[in-house]
């Protein structure tokens, strides 16, 4: 057993690369004691004598990964940053301010979403696309409201939110950017695109998926449904919007920056796809759309596992 463990440790150590000279000739070199994160292993490169610690996704963070991911999880489950701060004050001797918690949410929502944007998905034939209206305060200490939109796309089969974007408008450019990401993730799997009666959709759908000259038709059938005219109801994406509204209706508005608002909504996309179970399919949407991740995310703290995957693959 000891020989086997030693061989395994050597294999893991050989994967470590020196950040200065990219050498694999690395050895363990004592441990660094931190106030709130315990002991952190240090390494030394025998070629250039560089001493370093590994970037595990929490490099230079002053709080434990469990505490940071707990804060992110509590926020997306409906608790404000100030309430999370009060919760930590009762259980952690080293408390964090609500501003620090907000920065954690933005940082790791961006980090994980960069990784999830690269995933190739196994989805059904139909997607549903829609948009939600939001009012954002232009500046924190001044009056003035800016009307923005959240554009998102969901797969009807797996309930996976394929792409989303919080943007200033819902013109052709914004919708096309979202649908282009859907096409990149799903390749040739989509055959039907269901939307509401917005006038921009027919042109955008045809532009993104193109026209087949041999068959004499467009590559994707555009199913445009107008609920006010009694043509039906896009129940799956409207059900998703109910979940989003349930979390965001208690926000006091997205203050100032469209980029930070987009990061918060990207974090909700991660929460919806990878963290919480969907009642209709009785599992997380990623289990159907990304079956290769089931073993890697089969842990209680999925936020931590996602951060580790994002750190390895980016």
Domain residue extents for the chain:
2-53, 56-115+292-314, 126-289
Which residues neighbour 161 within 8 Å (Cβ) at sequence distance 6 or greater? 152, 153, 154, 240, 269, 272, 273, 285
What's the Cα-to-Cα distance from 181 to each of 116, 176, 286, rounded to whole Å? 12, 9, 17
Q: Provide Rg for the chain, Cα atoms.
A: 23
Distances (CA, A) of 230 to 195, 222, 226, 271: 14, 18, 7, 33
Long-range pairs, 91-100, Cβ under 8 A, ≥24: 92/67, 94/35, 94/36, 94/63, 96/63, 96/67, 96/71, 100/63
Superfamily holding 126-289:
Ribonuclease H-like superfamily/Ribonuclease H (3.30.420.10)
Burial of 313 (0-12, 13-18, 19+ CB in 10 A): exposed
Q: Topology of domain 2-53, per CATH?
A: N-terminal domain of TfIIb (2.20.25)
CA distance 193 to 126: 6
Distance CA 70, CA 67 (A): 5
Per-residue pLDDT tens digits of the chain, which is 314 residues long: 455 555 555 555 567 899 899 999 999 999 988 887 888 899 999 999 999 988 888 988 989 999 999 999 999 999 999 999 999 999 887 888 999 999 999 999 999 999 999 999 999 999 999 999 998 887 767 777 889 999 999 999 999 999 999 999 999 999 999 999 999 999 999 999 999 999 999 999 999 999 888 888 889 999 999 877 777 789 999 999 999 999 999 887 777 689 999 999 999 999 999 999 999 999 999 999 999 999 999 999 999 999 999 998 87
CA distance 52 to 181: 37
């Amino acid at each position: 057993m000891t020989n086997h463990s030693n061989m395994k440790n050597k294999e893991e150590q050989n994967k470590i690369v020196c950040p200065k000279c990219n050498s694999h000739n690395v050895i363990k070199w004592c441990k660094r004691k931190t106030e709130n994160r315990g002991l952190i292993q240090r390494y030394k490169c025998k070629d250039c004598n560089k001493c370093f610690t590994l970037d595990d996704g929490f490099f230079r963070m002053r709080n434990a990964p469990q505490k940071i991911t707990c804060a992110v999880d509590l926020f997306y489950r409906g608790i404000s940053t100030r309430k999370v701060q009060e919760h930590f004050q009762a259980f952690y001797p080293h408390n964090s301010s609500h501003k620090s918690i907000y920065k954690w949410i933005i940082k790791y929502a961006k980090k994980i979403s960069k990784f999830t944007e690269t995933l190739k998905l196994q989805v059904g034939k139909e997607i549903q696309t829609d948009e939600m209206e939001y009012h954002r305060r232009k500046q924190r200490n001044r009056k003035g409201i800016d009307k923005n939109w959240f554009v998102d796309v969901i797969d009807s089969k797996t309930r996976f939110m394929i792409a989303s974007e919080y943007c200033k408008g819902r013109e052709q450019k914004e919708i096309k950017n979202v649908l282009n990401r859907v096409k990149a993730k799903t390749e040739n799997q989509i055959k039907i695109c269901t939307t509401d009666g917005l006038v921009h959709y027919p042109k955008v759908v045809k532009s993104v998926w193109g026209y087949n000259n041999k068959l004499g038709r467009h590559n994707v059938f555009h199913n445009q449904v107008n609920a006010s005219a009694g043509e039906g109801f896009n129940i799956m994406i409207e059900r998703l919007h109910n979940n989003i509204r349930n979390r965001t209706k208690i926000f006091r508005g997205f203050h100032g920056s469209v980029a930070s608002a987009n990061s918060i909504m990207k974090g909700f996309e991660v929460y919806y796809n990878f963290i919480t179970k969907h009642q209709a399919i009785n599992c997380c949407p990623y289990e159907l759309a990304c079956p290769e991740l089931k073993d890697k995310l089969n842990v209680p703290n999925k936020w931590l596992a996602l951060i580790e995957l994002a750190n390895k693959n980016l």
